[in-house]
Amino acid sequence: MALALFAGSHSLQANDWTNWRGPLQNGVSLEHYTGAGKLADTPAWTYNARSRGTPVVVDGKVVLWGYRGETTDLIEILTVLDAKTGAKLWEVEIADYLSDSIYNRYSIGAPTVDPETKRIYLVSNAGRFVCYELDGKKVFEMPMMEDLGRMTFPNSRVGSPVIEGDLVIVHFIFSNWGADGPAADRVYGFDKKTGELVWWSLPGVSPPVDSSFSTPVLETRDGKRVMYFTTGCGNLVCVNARSGKPYWRMPLCKNGMNPSVVLHKGKVIAIHGDENVDSSEKGRMSAIKLPEKLVAAAPGTETTVLDSSVEAWRNPIGATSSSPVLVGDTLYQLTDGGELYAIDANTGTDLWKKKLSNANLHSSPLYVDGLLYCPMMEGKLVVVKPSAKDGEVVQEIKLDGQCLGAPTVCDGVLYVTTTEKFYSFPIPNSGIKTDAAPALEVPAAGKAVALQIIPAETVIMRGNKQAFRIRSVDANGMVVSDKVEGVKWESFIPPTAKVKATMDASFNEAGELVVAADAKISAGAWKATAPDGTFGTIRGRGLKGLPITEDFEGYKLTEEFPADPANPAYKFAYPPLPWIGARFKFQVMEKDGNKVFGKSFDRLMFQRGTVFVAPSTLSNYTMQADVMTDGNARSKSDLGLINQRYLICLRGNANKIEISSNLERLAQAATFKVSANTWYTLKTRVDVNADGSGVVKGKVWDKSQPEPEAWTVEAKVAKAHTQGSPGIFGFTQMNQKRVFLDNLSITENK
């Protein structure tokens, strides 16, 4: 075993707080104070930013994710402040778009700072994955919604990235393309320096039943670097943190699970607040005995499912989002009802409980030098001194707004976010001692058994090419060699692929994947084999720029969708393979003698479907398509086009055409009577002015009639989105009335 500091860097100060759960991954600080006193009732400083998350602190700088504004002026912000004075050092705005988040449920999560590079990583509400240097220089940005199908949910919970070696890992619900098109709780591992995708994994089951923002907790076990987290499909999972290979899952809940876990003496402890999988009771804290040996499932087979015998103990308390704090052998947990529990981590028995408030939605406690700091939803910070038999409330401080995040401490200063302000409270003391962070066991690499190819997924525009880095890894995902030469590439069709497609591209002598200028739009996988027989795979999409047209007539309807009580069986084709988020939401089917793009009734969870059909780098384009909703005068559905991150949608039941992004940020409509079973033509464009403002336009008319000159609806925006993927949106309420689209065209604005 090679030894390194817990955070992977000798330059890390042990009291820096670089991630939302702190240096021990369990909400416990390593700081101890001489002559500690109570917090002052008034903060040393505040900052005008609203947040529901946790700040991080490194090198005397506070990194805060928050937001400002209420409706059309709401904007997310990533801010870096001077930790001593609260002075703003720099700040960037991150706009929301195309999300269904409501009620200003923003910044429920935290940025992460890599102790080695001192770079900041954050995923915004809309899925913009950004990386900045500590001085404010942008390193990379990725719109994960458009590029990888990262989904949003009304509760807007985001969580926090984690750093593992040379990787930065994120955990969300994704609906990508091809076999990864079905929505599922997935983890993606990226190169932390370049943002290139290294691996991705589906450790649970598809489809999920809700979102999850459980942040992974890492350890070394059985000679492997592994991580544990809970999922939107109600499972506790174990995944290899270097390769993404799943090891096991434990079904616990019938809904999504959000709290992060803690590790204690060979057990992983998780909590949730919904119905248990094995009883009608709601809520449960469980201690799961960790398997001594970890074996990855064979490709195409299900991850090992642990049975109930591994549950060491169960406590019937529950929490929707609050994560436990582990101090020695004692767990401290805030429940939804605002109660603080102390629980024996060895047996799961209650030691005591204390009513602190009437409710607690998200916030988690922080343990510092013998005290628990508990932000409560009603807007107060409660300081509790726990003992073996009780908890003494030693202080309560009233704060403006609601408290939904976890506090942070660094160098004797406590930082707390609320939905109104950001607070800094020094902890009075005459000296600070910081425990050393525990050493991390990094397994030594063994024999090479596979290739790890970076990027693992690529998009190449016609006339362009992509180079790859190829390295060898052992059975545990540890890198053996950073450079593998002499590989042979071949097209590869996974045996489980429902669409047996290949990418219209080829490798040149330099090992670059080339998409010719006249290549067709395509997607597929490739296999690289080294001289020693080890191999790895990647997959890619070959796309083209404007103009883009699709009438769906080239698709063969060879698949059969089974009948149900409301619909007869019918023939269909899977949606265009390179389109993001299409699988199980839309199909190519026959309508009125033509092949069209129709909304599938495959799963009720996908009654609302968003599909991206081209790269996120496109801008300055006009979209047009023929659209229709099934139904009658009382029941119709919605169908729209996404142009440069704006949705222009025909709302069937509301009889209107509407321009929106997030509905609470922008929603402007014009009356238009929508008749069921009538084909209309929908046209959209976005014009951006030199000063950054813009106008979003939409027009709709009966397909059998000439195009009108005037736009049906226009929305002026103060700061327009300058690029974004063209897309298609469909909403078939309760999967009752289908929507259809045909003759899609995307052309440059004229």
Residue 5 has a pLDDT of 34
Q: Which residues on adjacent β-strands are paired with residue 78?
A: 65, 92
| Same domain as 576, residue 526 | no
pLDDT at 27 over 60: yes
Distance set, CA 61 to CA 7, 19, 304 (Å):
18, 13, 43
What is the phi/psi pair of residue 24, to 5°?
Answer: -105, 0
Q: Which two tokens stand for residue 545?
A: 């720029």
How many Å separate Cα 206 from the centre of its chain? Answer: 16
Q: Which one-letter amino acid corresponds to residue 613?
A: V
d(CA 454, CA 105): 35
Residue 456 has a pLDDT of 98
pLDDT at 210 over 90: no
Residue 655 lies in a domain: yes
| Same domain as 616, residue 721 | yes
Most confident listed range (133-142, 431-440, 599-608): 133-142
CATH number of residue 384's parent domain:
2.40.128.630
Residue 119 lies in a domain: no
Residue 265 has a pLDDT of 97
| Same domain as 694, residue 657 | yes
Q: Yes or no: say if 737 and 653 are a contact pair by the CB < 8 Å rule.
A: no
d(CA 174, CA 487): 31
What is the tens place of the pLDDT at every residue in 488-545? 999 999 888 888 899 999 999 999 999 999 999 999 999 999 999 999 999 999 999 9
Share of residues in the chain with pLDDT > 90 (%): 86
Q: Yes or no: say if 18 and 112 are a contact pair by the CB < 8 Å rule.
A: yes
Burial of 124: CB neighbours in 10 Å, binned 0-12, 13-18, 19+: buried
What dihedral do alpha carbons 257, 263, 268, 273 form, nearest 10°?
-30
Residue 578 has a pLDDT of 96
Among residues 197, 284, 292, the alpha carbon closest in space to that of 238 is found at: 292
Among residues 571, 596, 594, 599, the alpha carbon closest in space to that of 584 is found at: 599
Residue 89 lies in a domain: no
Residue 436 lies in a domain: no
CATH number of residue 493's parent domain:
2.60.40.10
| Same domain as 739, residue 605 | yes
| Same domain as 554, residue 538 | no
Residue 491 lies in a domain: yes
Per-residue pLDDT band at 7 (split at 50, 70, 90):
very low
| Same domain as 589, residue 463 | no
What is the average per-residue pLDDT within 374-382?
Answer: 96
d(CA 119, CA 166): 12
| Same domain as 386, residue 449 | no
Residue 569 lies in a domain: yes
What is the average per-residue pLDDT within 552-571?
Answer: 91
Q: Indicate the pTM of the whole model.
A: 0.95
Q: End of a domain among 503, 523, 543?
A: 543
| Same domain as 336, residue 390 | yes
d(CA 7, CA 32): 20
What is the average per-residue pLDDT within 368-391?
Answer: 97
| Same domain as 564, residue 476 | no
Tell me the CB-side half-sphere exposure of residue 62, using CA atoms within 13 A. Answer: 30
What is the average per-residue pLDDT within 205-229?
Answer: 94
CATH number of residue 646's parent domain:
2.60.120.560
| Same domain as 582, residue 530 | no
pLDDT at 263 over 50: yes
Q: End of a domain among 381, 402, 417?
A: 417
Q: What is the 3-state secondary structure (H, E, C) of 257-275?
A: CCCCCEEECCEEEEEEEEE
Residue 227 has a pLDDT of 98
d(CA 683, CA 267): 57
DSSP secondary-structure letter at 144? H
Range of the domain at 473: 444-543
Higher per-residue pLDDT: 179 or 301: 179
- How many structural domains are present in the chain? 3
- Which of 179-183, 469-473, 545-549 shows the lowest mean pLDDT across its residues? 179-183
How many Å separate Cα 472 from the centre of its chain? Answer: 28
Share of residues in the chain with pLDDT > 70 (%): 98
Residue 13 has a pLDDT of 54
Q: End of a domain among 543, 573, 594?
A: 543
pLDDT at 356 over 50: yes
| Same domain as 505, residue 452 | yes
What is the tens place of the pLDDT at every residue in 400-414? 999 999 999 999 999
* Angle at 667 (CA atoms; ends 630, 682), nearest 5 degrees: 40
Residue 430 has a pLDDT of 97
Residue 299 has a pLDDT of 72
pLDDT at 10 over 50: no
Higher per-residue pLDDT: 567 or 532: 532
Residue 300 has a pLDDT of 67
| Same domain as 631, residue 649 | yes
What is the tens place of the pLDDT at every residue in 709-744? 999 999 999 999 999 999 999 999 888 899 999 999
Residue 254 lies in a domain: no
- Which of 54-63, 201-210, 559-568 shows the lowest mean pLDDT across its residues? 559-568
What is the average per-residue pLDDT within 367-396?
Answer: 97
What is the average per-residue pLDDT within 559-567?
Answer: 86
Residue 120 lies in a domain: no
Q: Which two tokens stand for residue 70?
A: 């209420």
Residue 98 has a pLDDT of 94
Q: Which two tokens stand for residue 213?
A: 């923002």
Q: To the nearest whole number, what is the mean pLDDT of the chain? A: 94
pLDDT at 180 over 70: yes
